[in-house]
Structure formats: structure tokens, C-alpha cells
Amino acid sequence: MLNIKKFVLSAVAVICLLGFASFTNAGVIPVSGGYEVSYEIDMNSGSSNGSDIESVFIFEWDDTSFTNFSAMPGGDIAGTGITYLSHVIDFEPTFALIMGYGAGILGVGDEKDHVYTVTNSSFADSVLGIKWSVVFPGVTPETRFRHSAMVELLADAALNGGDALDALIYFVTTEGYQAAFDPAAEGFEVVEWSCGGEPCPEVPEPATFTLFVLGLVGLGWSRRKKI
């Protein structure tokens, strides 16, 4: 006879991330000085751990060799409601990846820190239920960024840049690129990573995410780095 309780606990233990479908409208438009890309992120039901998404970074590049690459802080994304992110870069991006984290709040959800990534739909579908440590094992053991280390890295890069930002760029260009999406196309998803490499003690209540990418006119800060 199947032990239902044991089955449920085993199933919960392997669900260490949540993916949220977000079919999008997109646009990258030319403006004076480059190309304007804006992101409208709608956190309908709020983040599952009740926090805002902090230390948000937007990475964009225009080919698979990262000849033109931009890494810029995007500010925060509100835990509920709509947040607009907008900037101008001097090349037309064909790939983008957005990352940030939400700090755990005592008594809310699973109380854990979560890393958020805006990714292409195929990647989001393929990693549903798989641990961060399996999806991003590191090019070598010495280069592996654990979930908890990524939270600290995002915070450090937002505050200080420098080595932390270089390390974040290294992660994106060696592993994170597989999650990139085309900012001028449709079919993006937000993936919420929790638990790091450890089993989840419980499944946080789902939140509903909708991401729209629209071309708007505005100015932002960008940093180009040639790899």
C-alpha cells in the first residue's frame, strides 16, 4: 500500500523552484544615442516570501560571443503591483537576462531568501522542480555559485560593483546565458529559486507573475564590458 504521507514529503523535497508563465509583448526601439528597452513587471499576487526583489541587474548582449555586453543595476522590483525598468544602451540587444533577490521575512512564506530570474520559456520549463545547484553546477567546482552565495553576490554588486560585479558577469557569461531571452520577442517567464541546494521543507504559496517588455523613451546607466 502506498504511503501517501511519505510520497508527499518526497515530492515536496524536490520542488525547489517555482516557474511562472508570462507571455509578453516586447519592443526594442531606436532612440537618440542607442536603443531603449523597458521592462514592466507585474507581481500580481506578490512574491511568495513577501519581500520586494532587490539588487536587480539587467544583462543584455547582441550575439553569442558577448562582443557587445551591458550589465546595469535596475533598482528594485516591488513585491506587489507593477514596476517599470527602463534604460538606453548603445547597441541593439538580442539577448537579455534579469536577476535579483528577495530577502526572507520572518513568519512569511518559507522565510527564505529567493533568487529571481527572468528567462526564456524553454529554459524555465526545463528547470521546473530542479535544484539551483543542479542547473548551475559551475564550470569547475571552484567557480560554482551556490544559491546563498548568489544572494550575497547580487547585494554586493549593487552596492560596490567592482569584483562582485565582475563575478556576476562571469556567472552570466559562463552559465546564466542559457536562461537568456530575446527582449524583442515574446515568451518570457519569471523563475523564483528558493532553498539553494537543500531540500525544501515546504512549498511556498504560488505567486502570479506577468512580465511585459515595452519600448519606452528614457535614460539609464550602462556598463559595457568586452569579454
Give the tens place of pLDDT for each residue, 128-141. Answer: 889 899 999 999 88
DSSP 100-138: EEE---TTSTT---EEEEEEEHHHHHHHTT--HHHH---
The reply to whether 72 falls in a domain is yes
Q: Is the sign of the CA dihedral 69, 56, 200, 45 positive or negative?
A: negative
Cell of 156: 554586493
Instruction: Please report the pLDDT score of residue 159 as a whole number.
Output: 94
The reply to whether 64 falls in a domain is yes
The reply to whether 73 falls in a domain is yes
Domains in the chain, number: 1
In the chain, the largest separation of any two C-alpha atoms, in whole Å, equals: 69
Does residue 18 surpass a pLDDT of 60? no
Give the tens place of pLDDT for each residue, 89-103. Answer: 999 999 999 999 998
Question: Do 148 and 156 form a contact (C-beta atoms < 8 A)?
Answer: no
Q: Residue 134, Cβ neighbours under 10 Å: how many? A: 10
Distance CA 89, CA 223 (A): 9
Residue span of the structural domain in which 132 resides: 15-214
The reply to whether 127 falls in a domain is yes
pLDDT higher at 170 or 224 = 170
Question: Do 52 and 43 form a contact (C-beta atoms < 8 A)?
Answer: no
Question: Do 77 and 101 form a contact (C-beta atoms < 8 A)?
Answer: no
pLDDT higher at 186 or 68 = 68
Q: Poorest-confidence range of 8-12, 64-68, 80-84, 129-133? A: 8-12
The reply to whether 100 falls in a domain is yes
**pLDDT above 70 coverage of the chain, percent:** 74
The reply to whether 221 falls in a domain is no
The reply to whether 181 falls in a domain is yes
Instruction: Please report the pLDDT score of residue 190 as a whole number.
Output: 81
The reply to whether 94 falls in a domain is yes
